[in-house]
Amino acid sequence: MTATTSDPKAMPAPSVAKDDHSEGMSYLESLPRKTVTVYIPLIIIMVVLLFPFYWMFITAIKPDQDLLDLHGGNPLWVGEPTFRHFYKLLFESNYPTWLWNTMFVAVCATFLSIVASVLAAYAITRIRFKGAQTVGGLIFLAYLVPPSILFIPLSTIIHVYGLFDTPFALILTYPTILIPFCTWLLMGYFKTIPYELEECALIDGASRWQIMVKIIIPLAIPGLISAFIFAFTLCWNEFIYALTFISSNPNKTVPTAIVSEFVDGDVFRWGSLMAGALVGSLPLVILYAFFVEHYVSAMTGAVKE
C-alpha cells in the first residue's frame, strides 16, 4: 500500500494503513450495495456448484421406496435416513477391492512420476546440458497431448507388452499424463532456489547427485507436496485408460466400476450408485482439505510459467 502512505492523512498511523492491506478500496462500499453486487451472486453460484453433492448425499441415505416417490414428500430432505446403501456397498460388493486398486495405481504412478520428474526438472534447470531449453519445451508440448487421441494405439501396445487387464497397464501409462505436469511445476520451484547454495556444495566436493538429494530436494518439499497431491488427484480421476485397458471386474478402478457395475439390466441402483460416488470422492476431499494451499499453488503454478 504505497499509495496510502503517501497520503498525508495516513502518515500519523502508517501501521493502520498496513493492517487493512487486503481491504483496498472496499471501505467505500456500503453493506446493502455489497449484498446485491457481491454476496447474492456469490451465494447463487455456490449453491449451483454444491447442489449436486448435497443431492448425492441425500440420495445415498434415502430408503429405496422414497427415491422413486418425488411427489410424496419433500425430496430435498430425508425422514428416516438409512445407511443400507453404504453397508451394501462396503460389504456386499467388490467396492473395497476397487478402492484398493485405485489407491494402489494412484500411489505407484504418482511415485514413479515424481521420481522421474525431479530428475528431469533438476537436469533442465540446473545441469543445463546442451538442448535443455528445447527439452523443456518438448515436455510442455507433451502436456498438451490429450489421452483421448492416444488410447487406441496404446491399447494395442499394452496387448503386445502383455500388460492388458493388469494394474501395470495403468501404473505405466499414467506417468505420461503426470510427468509433463510435475516436471513443469518442479522446474518453477527449482528456479527459485539460489545458485549460490549449489556452488558452495560443489566447492565442498559434492557430486550433482548429492546436491540434488541433500540440498535441492529438501528445499523443494512444498513443491513436491503440491506435485504429489495434484498428480494423485489426476490419477484418481483418470477414466479413459482405465476403461480401455482393464476389463475384469476385480481389477477395475472406482470411476470405471461405478458406471458399469451398478446397473442391473435397465434398473439403476441409484442409492448404491450415489453412495459409491460419495465414498469414491471422500479420500480426495480429505486429502484436499489438509493441503488446500499446496493444491491451489500446484494448479496456479502450472499455468503461470
Partner 1 sequence: MADAAIARTTAAPGEPSTWERLKVNRNWLGLWFMLPAMAFLVLFLVYPLGKGLWMSFTDARIGREGRFVGLENFEWLIEDRDFVRALIFTIVFTFIASAVKFAIGLYLALLLNNNLPFKAFIRSVVLIPFIVPTVLSAVAFWWIFDTQFSVITWGLVKLGLLDRGSPINWMGDPTMAQGVVIFANIWRGIPFIAITLLAGLQTVSPSLYEAATLDGATKWQNFRYVTYPLLTPIIAVVMTFSVLFTFTDFQLIWAMTRGGPVNATHLMATLSYQRGILGGNLGEGAAIAISMVPFLLAAILFSWFGLQRRKWQQGENND
Half-sphere CA count of 270, side-chain side, radius 13 A: 13
Range in contact with partner 1 (rule: CB under 8 A) among 50-58, 80-88, 91-99, 189-197:
50-58
Our finding on whether 13 is near partner 1 (CB under 8 A) is no
User: Minimum distance from CB of 132 to partner 1 (Å)?
Assistant: 7
Query: Which position has the grid cell 496387448?
Result: 159
Range in contact with partner 1 (rule: CB under 8 A) among 80-88, 140-148, 189-197, 217-225:
140-148
Our finding on whether 49 is near partner 1 (CB under 8 A) is yes
User: Minimum distance from CB of 55 to partner 1 (Å)?
Assistant: 6
From the list 14, 16, 18, 26, which residue makes contact with partner 1 (rule: CB under 8 A)?
Answer: 26
User: Minimum distance from CB of 259 to partner 1 (Å)?
Assistant: 5
Size of the site for partner 1 (CB under 8 A): 101
User: Minimum distance from CB of 17 to partner 1 (Å)?
Assistant: 12
Q: What b/e sequence results for 123-143 when a residue is b if at least 16 CB atoms lie within 10 Å of its CB, and e otherwise?
A: bbbbeeeeeeeeebeebeeeb
- Among residue numbers 248 through 287, which ones bind partner 1 (CB under 8 A)? 254-256, 258-259, 270, 273-274, 276-278, 280-281, 284-285
Residue pair 108/174 in contact by the 8 Å Cβ criterion? no
Our finding on whether 11 is near partner 1 (CB under 8 A) is no
Our finding on whether 45 is near partner 1 (CB under 8 A) is yes
- Among residue numbers 188 through 217, which ones bind partner 1 (CB under 8 A)? 207-208
Half-sphere CA count of 289, side-chain side, radius 13 A: 6
Complex with partner 1: residue 150 or 219, whichever CB lies closer: 150
Range in contact with partner 1 (rule: CB under 8 A) among 79-87, 89-97, 141-149, 187-195:
141-149
Our finding on whether 299 is near partner 1 (CB under 8 A) is yes
User: Minimum distance from CB of 283 to partner 1 (Å)?
Assistant: 10
From the list 34, 96, 133, 162, which residue makes contact with partner 1 (rule: CB under 8 A)?
Answer: 34
User: Minimum distance from CB of 87 to partner 1 (Å)?
Assistant: 19
From the list 9, 25, 77, 266, which residue makes contact with partner 1 (rule: CB under 8 A)?
Answer: 25
Distance between CA atoms of 284 and 262, rounded to whole angstroms?
A: 22
- Among residue numbers 105 through 124, which ones bind partner 1 (CB under 8 A)? 112-113, 115-117, 119-120, 122-124
Our finding on whether 9 is near partner 1 (CB under 8 A) is no
